[in-house]
Structure 1
Amino acid sequence: MALTGTGCAALTGDTGTDELQQFLAALSSGDLAGAAALTTDPAAAQETLEANVLAMGFTPTLSAGTPDGDRRPDRDPVTVEITWDMGTAGDDEADNDEADGDEAGSDPAGGTPGTEGAARIVTTTGEARTTRVGEDWKVEWAPTILDTRLEPGGTLAFSEILDYDTSVLDRTGEPLLQWTPVTAVTLAPGAVESADAVAALVNPVVQTITGQTIREGMTEAGDQPYQIVALRPSDIDPIREQLAAVPGVSLPEQGQLIRTDRDLDSPALTGLPDAWTEALQEEGGWTAEIVNPDAEPIELGSAPVGQVDDLVSTLQISMQRAAQQAVDSSALGASIVAIQPSTGGILAVAQNSAADRQGPVSMQGRFPPGSTFKIVTTAAALEAGVVGPDEVVPCPASVTVSGRTIPNDDDFELGPVPLETAFARSCNTSQAVISDRLTPEAMKDTAAKFGLGVGFFAPGLGADTFTGSVPVTEQGPARVEAAIGQGEVLASPFGMAVMTASLANGGRMILPHVVDGMTGDANDAPEPLDPGVVDTLRRYMEQTVRSGTATAANSIPGLGGKTGTAEVGTGPAHGWFVGSTGDIALAVLIEGADSSGPAVSMAAGFLGAAGQPAPLARG
């Protein structure tokens, strides 16, 4: 807000002018309590100022302006003009409960209505007076300081108007998320004894809700009502009367962007409402009003809402269901992430209930990638020229390099073999020897070319995604361990899918995203891999599926991949598979599988059911 007080600065004598200017200065700095303290009724002033600033949605920035004539604040009301600047469309978060999507009005700011960058500015005109209270001058408190039309109990109000008819579709055009009327099952702060009764009614709909989870949520909510769950009409109607009869329960109606299929769940869906809100805000309308009790609102300014086309997600519901079915077949924590290499669009992200207990590990987990990281190590060696694509390398049962003894799985040995064979058979000892010739930064820098260790930012992707971390390693045991995806090397299934998709994208790092047209950015822009290295790695990975450690997936046409078994302390090792075929790249992790075999089989099952990505529908 920019505030202009008139009729103050040119005055002489003791009329409370200085105190009025101090009041305006306190408002200018956003010190509402300080401003209120300069009035005749500090408690009422602070309450009203805070309520109005909250209703307008912004912290005030005010400045006192030029005087108008010689009006004395102790004798005549002094005009106070307040310009409320609510920023531009998209600057703030929408209040989904305040807009119905079909209001319209004028654009007093002169901007283009309903478009990104249009200013949202209104001006109110109030009056202020000063009076003596004992030996001190005070500003006479009245709500009319903010606007002469503001009555007791009234308030200023700003609302965004958004196009809630906008849906989120999957890549085929099938509805994925839609704005739907829901009922919020809410429990009053003092009604903790009702937790078990509420849980008994809603648990058949949402199995994760128990009396204990409700009590825990109420503890976190403190003295605020606790919203337990929002239920769609088909779920709430059969139990509405029973819930309403439980002491402390309220059932307010509201709108919410929800999944069209409640059984379709994925960490990739959690950020889509934010992307949807961002898109709506860019075309958002607004209205600012004076709302007095028992009276029609007085409009201060408005702009009409613009129409927003349905958002098209890169996700494909059929692929998501296939991925979920695949991970649900395992009793161990399992995750699948699938990405379209040609675009960077995320196709599916699934994890089972055992993985869910750890959080969204498919997108944020930190796991040693094991031998799948040999894609990076081999690429680094090929690009550095320390090994040739057809070079014969040793593959003994074990080897000691830089003080670290590295064995092959089950101590197999191949003797001297082409690098392609050593890669396809996942020979740890060959990789250990190769890594000893690399520079300290080689693996870290090469990993970044695949997007591993890079941070990505895109609407709907979520701010907490993690691709991986690869250390700079001096010659010694740490480098040898890193070369086979152990030691300090960590990655998520998302990161390994990004790596594999970038390789399938001709060695150019993809920009992963989940909404068409909202590609986003990365915190690094590495040069692409050498085309010759890309071709060599693809040949090696195809050989891995044809005759190496991933033959269980050789029924998938054109599939190339790499297996990995990653040691984790004293427990069973994690099993990995990463690969690509056509225009789909994926990473599969099964925690504690003690072998890559189950991950290979899971990948084959998913790819066989999923097929290739459908063309993107255009909203």
Structure 2
Amino acid sequence: MIGRVRTSKKTVSSLVAVGALVLAGCGDDGPPEPQTTAEQFVDAINSGSADAAAALTTDPAAASAALAGLYDGLSASGTVTATPDFAVESASDEGGSVTLDATWRFSTTTDGTEEPDGEPKQWQYDTTATATETDQGWRINWDPAVLAPGLAADSTVRYISTDALVTPKVFDRTGAELMSQQVVTLVNVDSTADPAVVASYLTPIVPTITAQSIAADQAQSQGNSVTLVSLRQSDLDPIAAELTAVPGVTLAPQTRLLTTDRALASPALTGVADLWQTQLDDNKGWSIQSLKADGSVEQLAGVDASPAPDIATTLDSGLQIKAENALASLPQQSAIVALQPSTGNVLAVAQNSAADAEGPIALTGLYPPGSTFKTVTTSAALDAGIATPDTILPCPGTENIEGRQIPNDDNFDLGDVPLHTAFARSCNTTMGRLGVGLPADALQLTAQQYGLGVDYVTPGLTTVTGSVPVADTPAARVEAAIGQGQVTASPFGMALVASSIAGGSLKAPTLVSGQPGVADVTPAPVDAVVAEQVKTMMRETVTGGTATQLQDIPGLLGKTGTAEFGPNNEGAHGWFVGIQGDLAFAVFVAGGESSAPALEAAGRFLR
């Protein structure tokens, strides 16, 4: 007997070349003819060349058809990639006996790579064959069972995927249903549909769909059917019969994961939906079935489906809707992110329709944070010991600091005041001077203590917190100290800063209960004393500083921010970060020109 021989996958062109050698016979020092033929046979199967493999059998036509059917049956209509790995287990030149070791690997990934969970589905078995010397050289005696056990000329083999036994639901932090799989129906029209008639049914439901927009879609479709909208069942039911009767209209129902409350929407739910789909896929079953000529089915391999677990999120549905309503009236791109300081739980992630058009800006949009970054600058100065809350510092209306002319808002001048007053009144000149006196990496390290500039891998959530580069020059530190220059932050990042100050420690963000994010760096712990001092200053900001319009809200702490942007600083974003009990949040209004729109949105959110 000849020992186990593993073969490597080759291209079809190399198979042809080696096949020619097989036909010519092997030299005295080469391997026996049955082994060589078997090696080329399995190489052709592994390369996906049915014809090349079939040519090495005694019945090429039947073998080619059987191989093509096997490839097709195991590929599950293109949704699954089936990758063969055949090998010569053993071969004998006496009687031409050959044993083949076969493994089929199945993947739902588009490129056929290993499944995300690292556990590829596979079907493994051994088969036997014999080889015969013919006028064309040695050939595998054709028998479908050479390819798979039990395979016959009148049977086929197929891969079947079975859905998870239970479809998961998504719940909010109170246990209320947040999302579930529901039926939606696509409304499709072709070029023969009357736009005015179709619009008469759809416009009352979706005002943006009009006869003109339908006609435009039809014109662009070049005669093909076009989908106008997908409707929930409750929207479709009153008009279903009428729509179905309109010539050129077809309705196509399908299932989707949707929010239970249609009024609720959040960019955070995109990641939750992806996680839901992953759990659904991970709990599907699969089987390899042999279909007999008499219609009977035999299972050859597989795994039973299992119940997919529900997903418990940290989102607060009521708070989420309040955040969405607080932003709805703003024409500018706007966002609110709310966290729970004691846990790091994500409570709400909201943005308005203008922001939705740009993507998930609440979680990944990067902007200069302006004066909200003074929470970091003040913390760094307190930690470095260059000032205390009561240190008297100058707050001139404008000052040239390291070649950069720094003005206060409307050039207000407070003279010499304690640091806590300069903070509450948002003195740029005071903060610029403090920044100059800090080490080059002080702002970066302090920001990281609060989570800004830290990247997290968080189940169900894709975020970017921001960037605070080392400020190597005094001029760079002046810019950074007032949240300008190279400093950027996302609304999520500034909510994390507020949360870390509120709780006196940095808590990893969490969207799926029990699955906190993992940071790419480990910052130094927050100085709880410093955080408490900054909280006191944030309270003063509301009671006697730049956020007094919110002083009716009990126990509110905050910091306003206006951040210039553009080549010539022609525009300004508006910010407000706040703390109320075990709630920390950031409000962002792009192009708000001042903090006023953000303050107004914060008021609507909290009141």
The structural deviation recorded for 1:183 is: 3.5
Specify the code of the residue in structure 2 equivalent to 1:575.
G
- Secondary structure at 2:599's aligned position in 1? helix
Question: Which runs of structure 2 are paired with 1:571-586 in the superposition (5 Å)?
Answer: 571-586=570-585
- Secondary structure at 2:277's aligned position in 1? helix
- Does structure 1 residue 446 correspond to structure 2 residue 446? yes
User: Who is 1:468 aligned against?
Assistant: 466
Question: Which runs of structure 2 are paired with 1:298-447 in the superposition (5 Å)?
Answer: 298-447=298-447
Give deviations 1:517-574, integer Å, cap 9, x for gaps: 2223121221221122111111111111111101111122221111000112254411
- Cα 1:576–1:312 shift into 2, 3 Å: same
Alignment partner of 2:173 out of 171, 174, 188: 171
Give the Cα separation in 1 of the matches to 2:133 and 2:214: 59
Give deviations 1:57-113, integer Å, cap 9, x for gaps: 34536251422655766xx8x55442345599xx747xxxxxxxxxxxxxxxxxxxx
Specify the code of the residue in structure 2 equivalent to 1:32.
G
- Secondary structure at 2:410's aligned position in 1? helix
User: Who is 1:64 aligned against?
Assistant: 87
The structural deviation recorded for 1:298 is: 2.2
Specify the code of the residue in structure 2 equivalent to 1:277.
Q
- Does structure 1 residue 551 correspond to structure 2 residue 548? yes
Give the Cα separation in 2 of the matches to 1:207 and 1:132: 76
User: Who is 1:256 aligned against?
Assistant: 256
Is the Cα contact below 8 Å between 2:198 and 2:243 reproduced in 1?
no
Give deviations 1:145-176, integer Å, cap 9, x for gaps: 24542667844214254244421111122211
User: Who is 1:527 aligned against?
Assistant: 524
Is the Cα contact below 8 Å between 1:578 and 1:588 reproduced in 2?
yes
- Secondary structure at 1:67's aligned position in 2? strand
Is the Cα contact below 8 Å between 1:366 and 1:490 reproduced in 2?
yes
Is the Cα contact below 8 Å between 2:335 and 2:588 reproduced in 1?
yes
Give the Cα separation in 1 of the matches to 2:403 and 2:515: 48
Give the Cα separation in 2 of the matches to 1:218 and 1:406: 56
- Secondary structure at 2:377's aligned position in 1? helix
User: Who is 2:48 aligned against?
Assistant: 32
- Secondary structure at 2:180's aligned position in 1? strand
- Secondary structure at 2:83's aligned position in 1? coil
Give the Cα separation in 2 of the matches to 1:250 and 1:17: 59
- Cα 1:47–1:505 shift into 2, 3 Å: farther
User: Who is 1:488 aligned against?
Assistant: 486
Give the Cα separation in 2 of the matches to 1:218 and 1:460: 36
The structural deviation recorded for 1:133 is: 10
User: Who is 1:616 aligned against?
Assistant: none
Alignment partner of 2:185 out of 183, 186, 191: 183
- Does structure 1 residue 122 correspond to structure 2 residue 123? yes
Specify the code of the residue in structure 1 equivalent to 2:498.
T
- Cα 1:333–1:22 shift into 2, 3 Å: same
Give the Cα separation in 1 of the matches to 2:406 and 2:163: 63
Is the Cα contact below 8 Å between 1:402 and 1:475 reproduced in 2?
no
Specify the code of the residue in structure 1 equivalent to 2:446.
T
- Cα 1:181–1:345 shift into 2, 3 Å: same
Give the Cα separation in 2 of the matches to 1:327 and 1:289: 55
User: Who is 2:18 aligned against?
Assistant: none
- Cα 1:151–1:183 shift into 2, 3 Å: farther
Specify the code of the residue in structure 2 equivalent to 1:54.
S
Give the Cα separation in 2 of the matches to 1:46 and 1:368: 61
Specify the code of the residue in structure 1 equivalent to 2:424.
A
- Does structure 1 residue 513 correspond to structure 2 residue 502? no
Specify the code of the residue in structure 2 equivalent to 1:20.
A
- Secondary structure at 1:400's aligned position in 2? strand
The structural deviation recorded for 1:339 is: 1.0
- Cα 1:4–1:142 shift into 2, 3 Å: farther
Specify the code of the residue in structure 1 equivalent to 2:80.
G
- Cα 1:83–1:516 shift into 2, 3 Å: same
- Secondary structure at 2:322's aligned position in 1? helix
Give deviations 1:263-304, integer Å, cap 9, x for gaps: 321111111122223444565544333356883432123444
- Does structure 1 residue 599 correspond to structure 2 residue 601? no
User: Who is 1:51 aligned against?
Assistant: 72
The structural deviation recorded for 1:356 is: 1.9
The structural deviation recorded for 1:131 is: 8.1
- C-alpha RMSD of the superposition: 4.0
- Secondary structure at 1:447's aligned position in 2? helix
Question: Which runs of structure 2 are paired with 1:41-190 in the superposition (5 Å)?
Answer: 47-48=68-69, 50-55=71-76, 57-58=80-81, 60=83, 62-67=85-90, 80-84=100-104, 92=115, 121-124=122-125, 145-149=147-151, 154-185=156-187
- Secondary structure at 1:434's aligned position in 2? helix
Is the Cα contact below 8 Å between 1:578 and 1:587 reproduced in 2?
yes
Give the Cα separation in 2 of the matches to 1:216 and 1:521: 49
Structure number with higher relative contact order (C-alpha < 8 Å, ≥ 6 residues apart):
1
How many equivalent pairs are there? 566
Is the Cα contact below 8 Å between 1:199 and 1:214 reproduced in 2?
no
Specify the code of the residue in structure 2 equivalent to 1:493.
P
The structural deviation recorded for 1:514 is: 1.6
User: Who is 2:10 aligned against?
Assistant: none
Give deviations 1:426-467, integer Å, cap 9, x for gaps: 0000010000011221111211111111111222113xx221
- Cα 1:136–1:266 shift into 2, 3 Å: farther
User: Who is 1:104 aligned against?
Assistant: none
Give the Cα separation in 2 of the matches to 1:32 and 1:213: 45
Is the Cα contact below 8 Å between 2:87 and 2:101 reproduced in 1?
no
- Secondary structure at 1:371's aligned position in 2? helix
- Secondary structure at 2:325's aligned position in 1? helix
Specify the code of the residue in structure 1 equivalent to 2:52.
A
Instruction: Give identity over the alignment, percent.
Output: 41
Specify the code of the residue in structure 2 equivalent to 1:25.
D
- Secondary structure at 2:85's aligned position in 1? coil
Question: Which runs of structure 2 are paired with 1:271-290 in the superposition (5 Å)?
Answer: 271-280=271-280, 284-290=284-290
- Cα 1:396–1:50 shift into 2, 3 Å: farther
Is the Cα contact below 8 Å between 2:494 and 2:577 reproduced in 1?
yes
Give the Cα separation in 2 of the matches to 1:290 and 1:524: 53
- Secondary structure at 1:122's aligned position in 2? strand
The structural deviation recorded for 1:601 is: 2.2
With 378-387 and 147-156 compared, the bigger mean Cα shift is at: 147-156
User: Who is 1:268 aligned against?
Assistant: 268
Give the Cα separation in 1 of the matches to 2:469 and 2:142: 63
- Cα 1:430–1:163 shift into 2, 3 Å: farther
Give the Cα separation in 2 of the matches to 1:46 and 1:120: 21
The structural deviation recorded for 1:387 is: 2.1
TM-score of the superposition, structure 2-length normalised?
A: 0.81
The structural deviation recorded for 1:46 is: 7.6
- Secondary structure at 1:435's aligned position in 2? helix
Specify the code of the residue in structure 2 equivalent to 1:51.
D
Give deviations 1:368-401, integer Å, cap 9, x for gaps: 1110011111112222222223211110111112
Give the Cα separation in 1 of the matches to 2:227 and 2:510: 31
Greater Rg, structure 1 or structure 2?
2
Specify the code of the residue in structure 2 equivalent to 1:552.
Q
Give the Cα separation in 1 of the matches to 2:516 and 2:247: 48
Give the Cα separation in 2 of the matches to 1:15 and 1:520: 59
Is the Cα contact below 8 Å between 1:184 and 1:231 reproduced in 2?
yes
